[in-house]
């Protein structure tokens, strides 16, 4: 299993919404120019070039083989998993950067799920039937939760885009997303009783 990110500068660089969109685009559709990823992120090509250089600085993207006459600079994502998790020994700056990046990951994942849900009625029956938004509560100790995470990752691994191109996938296969979150449930705040019974009014 990957050790995960630990450089606070790299994590803060990646937490930028436009950079996450650019990295997602490169990982999903392959190499692209700054102009091509700019359209996805809704930014100017010059801004996209800056974000690509920052992603390259911290090892998230790299130059891709040229196409055509080779005049345009192509970028591709570095084929390695990106994971982040808070550890007991983390220094405050590392912990803060990790939390910032995890919140950015969660926002992007939430937006992805919202888009899928908004478009669900337009999906063919066979895709609607297999779409799931599940929440399950489990009772585990830390070792069991680590084992559960590792087991789920191993189950998904053969289907990852990085491991399965169009030729290896069956006819009709398309890109889907697995969102996995394992965390200890935190105590929910108790708001207390209202001072007035608004429901009884009128």
Burial of 174 (C-beta count, 10 Å sphere; 0-12/13-18/19+): exposed
Residue 202 has a pLDDT of 52
Give the predicted TM-score (pTM) of the model. Answer: 0.76
Give the CA count within 13 Å in the CB-facing half-sphere of 17.
11
On whether the CB atoms of residues 78 and 59 are closer than 8 A, the answer is: yes
Reading the block at residue 68, the tokens are 């055509």
Domain ranges of the chain: 8-106, 134-184
Whole-number CA gyration radius for the chain: 21
Residue 129 has a pLDDT of 95
The pLDDT profile of the chain, 202 residues, written as one tens digit per residue, is 345 788 999 999 999 999 999 999 998 888 999 999 999 999 999 999 999 999 999 999 999 998 877 788 999 999 777 878 888 899 999 999 999 999 999 999 999 999 999 999 999 999 999 999 999 999 999 999 999 999 999 999 999 988 888 899 999 999 999 998 889 999 888 888 888 766 655 5
Reading the block at residue 14, the tokens are 């990646």
CATH architecture, range 8-106: Orthogonal Bundle (1.10)
Residue 197 has a pLDDT of 66
Residue 2 has a pLDDT of 44
Residue 1 has a pLDDT of 37
Q: What are phi and psi of 192, to 5 degrees?
A: 85, 175
């Amino acid at each position: 299993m990957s050790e995960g990110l630990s450089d606070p500068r790299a994590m803060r660089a990646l937490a930028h919404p436009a950079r996450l969109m650019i990295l997602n685009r490169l990982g999903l559709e392959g190499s692209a120019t700054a102009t091509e990823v700019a359209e996805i992120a809704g930014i100017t090509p010059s801004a996209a070039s800056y974000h690509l250089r920052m992603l390259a600085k911290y090892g998230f993207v790299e130059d891709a083989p040229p196409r055509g006459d080779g005049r345009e600079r192509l970028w591709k994502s570095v084929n390695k998993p990106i994971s982040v998790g808070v550890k007991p020994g983390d220094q405050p700056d590392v912990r803060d950067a990790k939390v910032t990046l995890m919140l950015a990951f969660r926002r992007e994942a939430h937006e992805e799920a919202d888009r899928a849900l908004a478009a669900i009625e337009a999906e063919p029956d066979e895709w609607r039937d297999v779409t799931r938004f599940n929440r399950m509560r489990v009772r585990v100790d830390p070792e069991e939760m680590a084992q559960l995470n590792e087991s789920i990752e191993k189950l998904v691994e053969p289907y990852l885009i990085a491991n399965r191109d169009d030729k290896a996938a069956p006819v009709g296969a398309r890109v889907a997303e697995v969102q996995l979150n394992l965390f200890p449930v935190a105590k929910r705040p108790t708001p207390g009783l209202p001072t007035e019974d608004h429901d009884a009014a009128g």
